[in-house]
Chain A
Amino acid sequence: MNEVGPAELSIEALSGSPRRVRRERIISRAMFCAASASVVVSALIIYALFAEAWIFMRDVDWSATWGQLGWFPRRGIYDMPTLLVASLWTTAIAMVVAAPLGMGAAIYLSEYAKPSHRALFKPILEILAGIPSVVLGFFALLWLAPNVVAHIGGEGGRGSMLAAGIGVGILTIPLVASISEDAMAAVPKSLREASAGLGARRAVTTVRVVLPAAVSGLVASLIVAVSRALGETMVVFMAGGAADAAIKTYSPYEGSLTMPAAMASLASGTDQVVGEGLTFQSLFFVGLVLFMLTLGLNLIGDRFVARVREQY
Chain B
Amino acid sequence: MTTGHDTRLDSFNDTGLYPPNNHRDRPEDPDMTATDQRTQEPGADSAPHDGAEPETERTVIFDVEDLNVYYGDFRAVRDASLKVHKNEITAFIGPSGCGKTTLLRCFNRMNDLIETARVTGSLRYHGVDLYHPKVDSVEVRRQIGMVFQKPNPFPKSIWANVAYGPRVAGLAKKGPAMDDIVENSLRKAALWDEVKDRLDDNALGLSGGQQQRLCIARAIATDPDVLLMDEPCSALDPIATTRIEELMQGLKDDYSIVIVTHNMQQAARVSDRTAFFSVEVNPESDTRTGILVEYDSTQKMFSNPADERTENYVTGRFG
> Which positions in A face B, CB cutoff 8 Å?
114-115, 188, 190-201, 204, 208-209, 212-213, 311-312
Offer 13 A-B interface pairs, CB within 8 angstroms, sorted by A.
A190-B152, A191-B154, A195-B168, A197-B110, A198-B142, A198-B218, A199-B141, A199-B165, A200-B138, A208-B168, A212-B155, A212-B156, A311-B155
Q: Which residues of B contact A213 (CB under 8 A)?
A: 154-155
- B94 interfacial contact with A, CB 8 Å: no
Shortest beta-carbon distance from A119 to chain B in Å: 12
Q: Is the CB of A208 within 8 A of B164?
A: yes
Contact among B142, B148, B168, B222 with A190 in the assembled complex (CB-CB below 8 Å)? B148
Contact among A115, A197, A209 with B219 in the assembled complex (CB-CB below 8 Å)? A197
Shortest beta-carbon distance from B228 to chain A in Å: 8
Q: A194-B152, A311-B155 are in contact. Are A199 and B110 (CB under 8 A)?
A: no
Q: Is the CB of B138 within 8 A of A193?
A: no
Q: Is the CB of B110 within 8 A of A193?
A: yes
Shortest beta-carbon distance from B139 to chain A in Å: 7
- B108 interfacial contact with A, CB 8 Å: yes
Q: Which residues of B contact A209 (CB under 8 A)?
A: 154
Shortest beta-carbon distance from B102 to chain A in Å: 14
Q: Is the CB of A196 within 8 A of B168?
A: no
Q: Is the CB of B145 within 8 A of A198?
A: yes
Q: A193-B110, A311-B155 are in contact. Are A199 and B168 (CB under 8 A)?
A: yes
Q: Which residues of A contact B222 (CB under 8 A)?
A: 198-199
Residue of B nearest to A199 (CB): B142
Residue of A nearest to B215 (CB): A194
In the complex, the 4 A-B pairs of residues with the closest C-beta atoms, listed nearest first? A199-B142, A198-B165, A197-B146, A190-B152
Q: Is the CB of A197 within 8 A of B138?
A: no
Shortest beta-carbon distance from A185 to chain B in Å: 16
A196–B154 CA distance with the chains assembled, in angstroms: 12
- Chain A contact residues, majority secondary structure: helix
Docked complex: B28-44 residues within 8 A CB-CB of A: none
A102–B267 CA distance with the chains assembled, in angstroms: 50
Q: A208-B164, A213-B155 are in contact. Are A199 and B113 (CB under 8 A)?
A: no
A57–B179 CA distance with the chains assembled, in angstroms: 63
The digit string for B210-228, where 1 denotes a CB below 8 A from any CB of A, is 0000010011001000000
Residue of B nearest to A114 (CB): B115
Q: Is the CB of B152 within 8 A of A198?
A: no
Shortest beta-carbon distance from A232 to chain B in Å: 35
Q: Which residues of A contact B281 (CB under 8 A)?
A: none
Q: A190-B150, A191-B152 are in contact. Are A197 and B108 (CB under 8 A)?
A: yes
Residue of A nearest to B151 (CB): A190
Contact among A193, A199, A208, A312 with B148 in the assembled complex (CB-CB below 8 Å)? A193
Shortest beta-carbon distance from A256 to chain B in Å: 45
A212–B161 CA distance with the chains assembled, in angstroms: 13
Shortest beta-carbon distance from B90 to chain A in Å: 18
A201–B170 CA distance with the chains assembled, in angstroms: 13
- B135 interfacial contact with A, CB 8 Å: no
Q: A190-B152, A209-B154 are in contact. Are A195 and B164 (CB under 8 A)?
A: yes
Kindly name the residue among A196, A198, A200 whose own CB sees the greatest number of chain B CB atoms within 10 A. A198
Q: Which residues of B contact A192 (CB under 8 A)?
A: 113
Q: Is the CB of A201 within 8 A of B138?
A: yes
Shortest beta-carbon distance from B165 to chain A in Å: 4
Q: Is the CB of B148 within 8 A of A198?
A: no
Q: Which residues of B contact A195 (CB under 8 A)?
A: 154, 164, 168
Q: Is the CB of A198 within 8 A of B110?
A: no
Q: Which residues of B contact A212 (CB under 8 A)?
A: 155-156
Residue of B nearest to A209 (CB): B154
A209–B160 CA distance with the chains assembled, in angstroms: 11
Contact among B152, B153, B165 with A193 in the assembled complex (CB-CB below 8 Å)? B152
Shortest beta-carbon distance from A118 to chain B in Å: 11
Q: Is the CB of A198 within 8 A of B141?
A: yes
- B169 interfacial contact with A, CB 8 Å: yes
